Amino acid sequence: MYSDGDTIVAAATPAGESALAIVRLSGPLCTGISEEFAGDRPVLPRKAFYGAYKAADGVLLDRCVFIPYPAASSYTGEDMLEISCHGNPLIVRQIVDDLLRRGCRPAEPGEFTRRAFLNGKMDLTQAEAVQDIISARCEAALEAARRQLDGSVGTAVNALLDKLLHVVAYTEAYIDFPEDDLPPESSEGPIAELVALQKAAKLLIATAPYSAMLRDGAKTVIAGLPNAGKSSLLNALVGEDRAIVSAEPGTTRDYIEERLLVGRHLLRVVDTAGLRIGAGEVENKGIEKSLNQIEHADIVILVLDSTTPLPYREVPEQVQKLSNRAGLIVVENKCDLPDSVKLSDIMPDAKHVRISALNGDGVEELRGVIAQTIESSCRVPGQDDVLVSARHAEALRSMSDNIALALEKMRSHEPAELAASDLRAALSALEQIVGRVDHERVLDLVFSSFCIGK
Amino acid sequence: MIGTELEPYDVIVCGAGHAGCEAALAAARMGMRTMLITGNIDTIAKMSCNPSIGGQAKGHIVREIDALGGEMAINTDTTAIQFRMLNESKGPAVQAPRAQCDKKAYQFRMKHVLELQPNMHLFQAIVSKLHYSAGKVKGVGTTIGADIYAKTVIVTTGTFLRGLMHIGRNKTEGGRSGDFSALTLSGSLKEAGIELERLKTGTPARVIGSSVNFSVMEEQPGDERPLLFAFYDTRGLPDDLFHVEQSPSLDLAERLLFHVEQGRGMRKAGWLPGSEQLSCWMTYTGDETRRVIMENLQSSALYGGEISGVGPRYCPSIEDKMVRFANHERHRLFLEPEGRNTDEWYINGLSTSMPFDVQQKILHSVPGLENAVMMRPAYAVEYDFAQPTQIHAWLETRAVEGLFFAGQINGTSGYEEAAGQGLVAGVNAALKVRGEPPFILGRHESYIGVLIDDLVTKGTFEPYRMFTSRAEHRLLLNHNSAELRLGEHAIRFGLMDEGRAKLVKEKIAKVRNWTERFEQIPAPGGRLGDYIRRGGDASPASADFHALSASTRDEIIYRVRYKGYLDRELKQVEKLSHIEKIAIPQGFDYGKVRGLRNESRQKLEKHRPETLAQASRISGVSPADISLLMVSFVSRNA
């Protein structure tokens, strides 16, 4: 059987909200992962079983249907596992992330098909077609990657590469030229450079969720007490932006999701069931779901009715909890009515905006505040800033992890060739983005930085 | 008569340098009727430049040559006048032995080994051309008018192909000071479609020791208990030969090491490798050196534009160092003895292509060399080489069947690099004659494999020297494991006698078993494996363990201590192994692979990799390109 020994993972269904989503794995880890989710039940080939998807750290992510396929009867000719989860992009992402932590790696474009072909799961007449599929997918991916690499990502990643190569060259010089007249070896410089590299990589990695946010929109939850005017607010916000709005049912049909543009930001707005007053108790499943939505939101807009002010202590407990949340905006609705009063004593630390969802007063101001909030609560890149894709982020994370291993050894003065081995792994992680780096580049740096040779 | 068209030799080796000697020995030891032709039998295995063998990565190669049944290691051990272990402050994977040799003793012993080798015909003549027929090599023509025929020919011309020596603006034809230049062979290679380019290298002046003031220099003695290059435990000797002088194994050691001299009245009773070592001496260039060089830069052959060949970055001339590192106050020099029975000294670090009069001034500007009397001036030499992308990974040329290249003709530098290739070329010529599949060393199993793979995959623009950093699986290639990594190849090819083969197999099994057992043996705070990885020693192991040879014990401890790293590297090797096996068909049309980027296509067409793994090592080639190629080949082969 053809195999590079890796288990690959990818979402098999398109990104976005849907009733169900499928995550697909292929490779040697599938059996172990199936067995873990099956618990005490036997894992039977091609027999679906239902179970809790618990992440490696024990957190319940979703309840899923698992279908294991042994190599003999699978698409790729390797052991496979299909996981059907709820079609929420966040859940899909969490499941994929968890599988990466369990040792899988993201599939390359067309890789499932490629493996299927190489393992003889397709006959010769299909070969040309497969080649077309792969070349088309690769071409698209390459084209995208090339555009990205020509631009800001390329510049940023190449800057990291240069720095890493300098450290590698320094370390290697002292390993390969012990008899040359080099200045005394010091690990301080390389350690400082590696720490700086980690920081730079971290900043780049932090832009990866934002690039997903750009694609999917910033999740914005409208919450509030019943009849505070949440739906009117959603209509007021959506009003002029009908062109890009698409109403999609939520996975549970307990909430409505709309997309709209605010400034240059795409918002995915979720209207939730009301948070009822009830001595701080969660009264029904709807409220639980609303709270769950709030938890995973980038922005929370809490709508209050300014005509029926509550003393702060009477605000429901679950709403009070929001007050420390980043990205919280308090909207005081119905400001056009005569009995409207200012509610600045409720959640005084959050930003307050007084509006009338009905006649549109203050809605423009609210848009401005939303834009500002996105920009301050998420690490929003500037125009020339770099956004890395999830694949790049994974490579950068792997680079960072290997640098951490190298740093540990350098600080505890372990033999230099061990840290060098980690640095080489860090370099090959970067090669996943920039392509093969010729070792001559390291040697060039060695010979230009040190007077070597007898 | 052997060597005629009707009864050709199996193998002819042209050139008896470090590559040629190993090539001829390997072929003859594999039962091939072998002729080794050299232009001058008195210069066999000549150390044309420095008197040392080994060092970082090179020392690893020498031990690999020993593991593959070659001669260089034992020839070095028996003729060395100083041993030093380099990099003792680092870990075992990047430590390497280095020796200073008695140059003449080295040559004489090698010549004698060749003379005593069955199937070997040593012959003096200058090869002037190659004979071909229908894309195959047929034999060689010589300047004495004789044509000699063979099934395979290994060309190891060193710096002799249109060799041109420079001292300032003075030019002399020759591959080495005092020697000839092979003027017509290049034409014969070009005729076969092999393209040649120029490289340059150089060697410093030699001085007479009696004119040197050693008292102002720093002495650099050898190691008291040196590590030798050859593996002796698998030859039935203690690893630590120095401490056996009083023991009964002395006789055995002498018989083994000096087998060549046995019965010829050359027995060196009472001397064993590593005893009676000589010192080297260290000094530095002075301010005056800089002034002399900067004033005369234009008269240097290099800076005066006389030389077109590219020289090595790692071995710059002294004028190069002064120009490129202008802020360095001084540059270190070593004086190294050329032998026991001579007072000639090599000045390591003072290589130059300056005219003779400037060379004298440079020499006298160095503290301790004020009155030094020069015996041979420094010179640079330019020579033809064939870009090694023109050969297969088994060192046969792509243009001519049965024609093999090894050593500097492939663009390398160094005695060790040459010898390693020579051995592989000799084995492959023999396999070719037998009609067996070629021998390709992997990057994960040897530095020689890394060397050849780099050459044939990427080519080279300067004389290629091995560095440990070139090996991505460096931790797997520690010098002590060479025999464990490569011994089985030598056994398979019959390059190792039965007694040693048996001991090597036993050693491989012992290392494997003990490495596993260490994870079970109790030790303070858990198991012995963990204890060692926490910095402990092997004292909790049983007496059985301590009775193993030192090299076996060291290897077991190494594998246990670095288990995590070694496992990681082995995993990477495993991951790549499948694409190592996918061959790219000869003359494959990359234009037909849909979706392949132009940039990648051009690179692949230029380098013509022979396996998918080689393709993946070409700079800029992406994983997506490899995917496309993989599918393309598989669909063609289906």
Q: What is the pLDDT of residues B359-379, one digit of tens each?
A: 999 999 999 999 999 999 999
CA B240/CA B225 separation, integer angstroms? 8
Determine whether the interchain pair B312/A453 forms a contact, defined as Cβ–Cβ distance below 8 Å. yes
CA A366/CA A239 separation, integer angstroms? 14
CA A276/CA A315 separation, integer angstroms? 10
**Who's near A107: CB < 8 A, 6+ residues apart?**
A8, A9, A10, A26
Determine whether the interchain pair A5/B334 forms a contact, defined as Cβ–Cβ distance below 8 Å. no
The closest of B221, B137, B469 to A427, measured between CA atoms, is B469
pLDDT exceeds 80 at position B211: yes
Query: What are the φ/ψ torsions at residue A133 (nearest 5 degrees)?
Result: -60, -50
Q: Which residues of B touch A414 (CB under 8 A)?
A: 91
Q: Angle at which helices A416-434 and A390-411 pack, to 10 degrees?
A: 170
Mean pLDDT along residues B263-267: 39
Determine whether the interchain pair A436/B332 forms a contact, defined as Cβ–Cβ distance below 8 Å. no
CA B453/CA B610 separation, integer angstroms? 10
Mean pLDDT along residues B240-256: 54
- Ramachandran region, residue B500 (left: φ > 0; alpha: ψ -120 to 50; beta: rest): alpha
Residue B540 token pair: 């909790």
CA A385/CA B270 separation, integer angstroms? 75
Whole-angstrom Cα Rg for chain A: 27
Selecting from B458, B595, B624 the residue whose C-beta is nearest the C-beta of A108 gives: B624
Higher local confidence (pLDDT), B16 or A348:
B16
Higher local confidence (pLDDT), A228 or B486:
B486
**A109: nearest CA in chain B?**
B624
pLDDT value at residue A423: 96
Determine whether the interchain pair A417/B475 forms a contact, defined as Cβ–Cβ distance below 8 Å. yes
Q: Which residues of B165-176 are buried (b: 16+ CB within 10 A; e: fewer)?
A: bbbbeeeeebbb
Determine whether the interchain pair A454/B349 forms a contact, defined as Cβ–Cβ distance below 8 Å. yes
- At A56 the three-state DSSP class reads coil
Instruction: Mutation target for B interface from A4, A108, A115, A417: give the one with most B CBs within 10 A.
Output: A417
Mean pLDDT along residues B300-310: 75
pLDDT exceeds 60 at position B250: no
Residue A140: how many CA atoms within 13 Å on its side-chain side?
Answer: 8
Instruction: Mutation target for B interface from A427, A445, A454: give the one with most B CBs within 10 A.
Output: A454
A 137-156 residues inside an 8 A Cβ radius of B = 138-139, 141-142
Selecting from B94, B325, B469 the residue whose C-beta is nearest the C-beta of A442 gives: B469
Percent of chain B scoring above 70 in pLDDT: 93
**Who's near B98: CB < 8 A, 6+ residues apart?**
B52, B53, B54, B55, B58, B59, B83, B84, B85, B86
CATH of domain B582-637: 1.10.150.570
Q: Which residues of B touch A142 (CB under 8 A)?
A: 597, 622, 624
Q: How far is B325 from chain A (nearest CA, A)?
A: 7
Please check whether residue A127 touches B, CB under 8 A.
yes
pLDDT value at residue B439: 98
Task: Tell the residue number behind the tokens 């993972």, with chain if given.
Answer: A9
Selecting from A5, A176, A178 the residue whose C-beta is nearest the C-beta of B575 gives: A5
Asked if A228 and A305 count as a contact pair (C-beta separation under 8 A), the reply is yes
Length of chain B: 638
In chain B, residues under CATH classification 1.10.150.570 are 582-637
Residue B81 token pair: 């006048």
Determine whether the interchain pair B627/A111 forms a contact, defined as Cβ–Cβ distance below 8 Å. yes
Q: Which residues of A touch B561 (CB under 8 A)?
A: none
pLDDT value at residue B244: 44
Determine whether the interchain pair B56/A177 forms a contact, defined as Cβ–Cβ distance below 8 Å. yes
Please check whether residue A250 touches B, CB under 8 A.
no
Please check whether residue A242 touches B, CB under 8 A.
no
The closest of B618, B585, B592, B624 to B604, measured between CA atoms, is B618
Beta pairing, strands B34-38 & B9-14: parallel
Q: How far is A440 from chain B (nearest CA, A)?
A: 9
Determine whether the interchain pair B624/A142 forms a contact, defined as Cβ–Cβ distance below 8 Å. yes
Asked if A215 and B94 count as a contact pair (C-beta separation under 8 A), the reply is no
Determine whether the interchain pair B568/A109 forms a contact, defined as Cβ–Cβ distance below 8 Å. no
Mean pLDDT along residues B346-365: 94
pLDDT value at residue A248: 39
Selecting from A136, A417, A444 the residue whose C-beta is nearest the C-beta of B90 gives: A417
Q: Which residues of B touch A128 (CB under 8 A)?
A: 635
CA–CA distances in Å: residue B355 to residues B170, B300, B459 = 8, 7, 33
How confident is the model over B548-602, as pLDDT tens digits? 999 999 999 999 999 999 999 998 888 778 788 888 888 888 888 766 777 788 8
CA–CA distances in Å: residue B28 to residues B62, B258, B491 = 20, 20, 15
How confident is the model over B392-414, as pLDDT tens digits? 999 999 999 999 999 999 999 99
pLDDT value at residue A294: 81
CA B78/CA B82 separation, integer angstroms? 11
Selecting from B93, B623, B631 the residue whose C-beta is nearest the C-beta of A417 gives: B93
Q: Which residues of A touch B351 (CB under 8 A)?
A: 454
Chains A, B: CB contacts under 8 A, how many?
Answer: 157
Determine whether the interchain pair B86/A178 forms a contact, defined as Cβ–Cβ distance below 8 Å. yes
Determine whether the interchain pair A131/B631 forms a contact, defined as Cβ–Cβ distance below 8 Å. yes
CA A342/CA A347 separation, integer angstroms? 12
Q: Which residues of A touch B443 (CB under 8 A)?
A: none
Residue B546: CB atoms within 10 Å = 10
The sign of the dihedral angle between the CA atoms of A303, A307, A311, A316 is negative
CA B169/CA B475 separation, integer angstroms? 46
Residue B560 token pair: 């246990």
Q: How far is B131 from chain A (nearest CA, A)?
A: 38
Q: Which residues of B touch A417 (CB under 8 A)?
A: 90-91, 93-94, 468, 474-475
Q: How far is A4 from chain B (nearest CA, A)?
A: 5
Higher local confidence (pLDDT), B341 or B275:
B341
How confident is the model over A115-136, as pLDDT tens digits? 877 777 765 445 555 555 444 4
CA B196/CA B189 separation, integer angstroms? 8
In chain B, residues under CATH classification 3.50.50.60 are 9-199+383-483
pLDDT beneath 50: ranges in chain A: 1, 124-125, 133-147, 149, 240-254, 279-282, 380-384
Q: How far is A441 from chain B (nearest CA, A)?
A: 10
pLDDT value at residue A400: 96
pLDDT value at residue A150: 53
Q: How far is B369 from chain A (nearest CA, A)?
A: 17
Side by side, the strands of the sheet bearing B96-101 are B52-54, B96-101, B80-86
How confident is the model over B321-333, as pLDDT tens digits? 888 888 888 999 9
Where are any strands of DSSP class E within A309-447? 328-333, 351-354
Q: What share of chain B is helix, strand, coil (3-state, %, to 5)?
A: 40, 20, 40
Q: Model confidence at B251, in pLDDT bands (50, 70, 90)? A: low
Selecting from B93, B314, B594 the residue whose C-beta is nearest the C-beta of A132 gives: B594
Asked if B80 and B111 count as a contact pair (C-beta separation under 8 A), the reply is no
Residue A360 token pair: 């549109």
Determine whether the interchain pair A435/B620 forms a contact, defined as Cβ–Cβ distance below 8 Å. yes
Q: Which residues of B touch A175 (CB under 8 A)?
A: 56, 87, 90, 94, 468-469
Selecting from B86, B593, B617 the residue whose C-beta is nearest the C-beta of A436 gives: B617
Determine whether the interchain pair B472/A424 forms a contact, defined as Cβ–Cβ distance below 8 Å. yes
Determine whether the interchain pair A128/B90 forms a contact, defined as Cβ–Cβ distance below 8 Å. no
Determine whether the interchain pair A443/B469 forms a contact, defined as Cβ–Cβ distance below 8 Å. yes
User: Worst-scoring range by mean pLDDT, B197-211, B251-265, B420-434?
Assistant: B251-265
pLDDT exceeds 60 at position B269: no
Determine whether the interchain pair B595/A6 forms a contact, defined as Cβ–Cβ distance below 8 Å. no
Q: Which residues of A touch B597 (CB under 8 A)?
A: 142
Asked if B578 and A3 count as a contact pair (C-beta separation under 8 A), the reply is yes
Determine whether the interchain pair B56/A118 forms a contact, defined as Cβ–Cβ distance below 8 Å. no
Q: How far is B186 from chain A (nearest CA, A)?
A: 29
What's the CATH fold of domain B9-199+383-483?
FAD/NAD(P)-binding domain (3.50.50)
Q: Which residues pair with B100 in a beta bridge?
A: B52, B82
pLDDT value at residue B266: 38
Q: Which residues of A touch B316 (CB under 8 A)?
A: 453
Determine whether the interchain pair B628/A136 forms a contact, defined as Cβ–Cβ distance below 8 Å. no
Q: Angle at which helices B623-637 and A124-150 pack, to 10 degrees?
A: 170
Instruction: Mutation target for B interface from A2, A7, A176, A449: give the one with most B CBs within 10 A.
Output: A176
pLDDT value at residue B107: 96
Q: Which residues of A touch B314 (CB under 8 A)?
A: 447, 452-453
How confident is the model over B159-203, as pLDDT tens digits? 999 999 999 889 999 999 999 999 999 999 999 999 999 999 999
